[in-house]
Amino acid sequence: MRRFLFVGFVLMALSRSASADAVVEGRVELPKSHSAPVMNKRYEIVTKGGVLSTNPPIAVVYLEGSFPKPGALPTRQVAQKDLMFVPGLLPVQAGTKVEFPNLDHDTYHNIFSYSPAKRFDLGRYRPDEKPVPSQLFDVPGLVTLRCDVHEHMRGLILVLDTPHFVLTDPEGRFRLSGLPAGHYLLKAWVDSRTTREHPVDLKNGATLQVDFP
């Protein structure tokens, strides 16, 4: 009986601890699409006046502050499918390994980047290459992915020095949960030249509404 009471107490304590985390939700005002929307949940990277952004527009909202350094982070993927990077925009925490599987049958790809945050060249490789070509992204910043075989292909990896980030939906809505209490800077990455910010004071168990105009 005592054992069950102890287990129940632990579960209640964990539940209260989880519910005590802070939450930020709101909306980012996104720019208009550059052209007709691409297929649902597929984002094409477009360049206009030297500015890189997704089409249809989408933002990355993240909490900037001092957080414990992570241990092992899960491996993420950016695939090449139908001569596109999927997803077109991938936010990751610094220290994340990203794999680049080639899912285009009978088509070679050559993924590379000249970005200051990560310069690399995976060389030309065939579909189903094993092991899957990969890179470790350990420096915060924006990394532009290109394919030497298919010049039109563009992809973005946004490397962040925080574990707290989320993509908005196509309407700009977002919700960040599981946040620690304290004073931080909430940021919204919109494109390669536009990052909006808003100072926030987070309290345990409270939900804060923040909109980025």
Task: Write out pLDDT tens, residues 92-147.
Answer: 999 999 999 999 988 999 999 999 999 999 999 999 899 999 999 999 999 999 99
Q: Higher model confidence: residue 35 or residue 44?
A: 44
User: Distance between CA atoms of 89 and 5, rounded to whole angstroms?
Assistant: 47
User: Distance between CA atoms of 131 and 108, rounded to whole angstroms?
Assistant: 15
For residues 2-31, give the mean pLDDT. Answer: 64
Looking up tokens 């000249």 gives 114
For residues 162-170, give the mean pLDDT. Answer: 97
Pair 158, 168: CB distance under 8 Å: no
Amino acid making up residue 119: R
- This prediction's pTM: 0.86
User: Distance between CA atoms of 127 and 106, rounded to whole angstroms?
Assistant: 7
CA distances from 47 to 28, 51, 52, 156 (A): 21, 5, 5, 12
Helix (H, G, I), strand (E, B) or coil at 196: strand
User: Distance between CA atoms of 153 and 144, rounded to whole angstroms?
Assistant: 10
Q: Does the domain spanning 23-212 belong to CATH 3.40.50.2020?
A: no
Q: In the prediction, which pLDDT does 41 show?
A: 52
Question: By CB neighbour count within 10 A (0-12 exposed, 13-18 middle, 19+ buried), where does 170 fall?
Answer: middle
For residues 75-81, give the mean pLDDT. Answer: 96
How many residues are there in the chain?
213
User: Distance between CA atoms of 69 and 8, rounded to whole angstroms?
Assistant: 32
pLDDT at 10 > cutoff 50: no
User: Distance between CA atoms of 200 and 208, rounded to whole angstroms?
Assistant: 8
Give the Cβ contact number of residue 152 at 10 Å: 10
* Confidence at 35, pLDDT banded by 50, 70, 90: low
Within 8 A by CB and 6+ apart from 44, the residues are 38, 54, 55, 84, 88, 154
User: Distance between CA atoms of 109 and 203, rounded to whole angstroms?
Assistant: 48
Amino acid making up residue 2: R
End-to-end C-alpha distance for the chain, whole angstroms: 56
Q: In the prediction, which pLDDT does 170 show?
A: 93
